Structure 1
């Protein structure tokens, strides 16, 4: 998929059940992948979830080039690991995965998604809209 991505494209991965946003990041069946450039989806695909294991998925998705992760919910360890790698995390999304990506591409992150920012090691944080 990398050869189809422009230099300014953003790779957004949505934790999904088929084409709908999954309730929880680690328990989804697939990650729908959307390449977004200039505010529009230019390519889409998916990868199966290789399995929920502590600390595995954040590294796996970073290696696949994730810039943004959208999910219904996500544990603080996964959020912190993604943030350390510069990946933006949006939780609280529901409905169609593509629609969530299109809302993000248009600059609307909430609702249905919340930008989560972790401020301490205990997983506390502020919700940024």
Structure 2
């Protein structure tokens, strides 16, 4: 089975927040093994831009730290599986743990609407 897993990056590790990443690692997987990792710089961030761009680049799955509900919905509409709450780690470690069924995920959805001046996003 072939997969292309997108991971938002900050430096060499997973970015804590999907919308604030500096680059994306696209990890190509075939027969449960990593075959290629490609780093790509995303377009300028605007609401909804990253999910469309990631899907257009062939991602089947996204592993992220925090992600807002709009991005999750756009990925779902595009048929891209979303896994949020991943720990800060390298793309290789994240994907190998994911493929082995050992990736620890804690739901981490961000609500960017302020409530009395406070955002619910923990990043």
| Pairwise TM-score range, normalised by the shorter structure | 0.7 to 0.9
- The structure that is strand-richer by fraction is 1
- The total of aligned residue pairs comes to 107
In structure 2, list runs of 5 or more residues that go unmatched.
109-123
Question: Deviation digits for residues 69-117 of structure 1, max 9, x if unmatched?
Answer: 11111000000000111111111112222211111111234x1x3578x
Query: Which residue in the other structure is 2:100 paired with?
Result: 106
The answer for the alignment partner of 1:95 in structure 2 is 89
Runs of 4+ off more than 2 Å: 113-116
CA contact (8 A) 1:19 1:32 kept: no
- State the Cα RMSD in Å: 1.5
Matched residue, 1:124:
none
Aligned residues of 1:36 and 1:105 also touching (Cα < 8 A): no
Q: Does the alignment pair 1:78 with 2:49? A: no
Distance across 1 between alignment mates of 2:93 and 2:3: 16
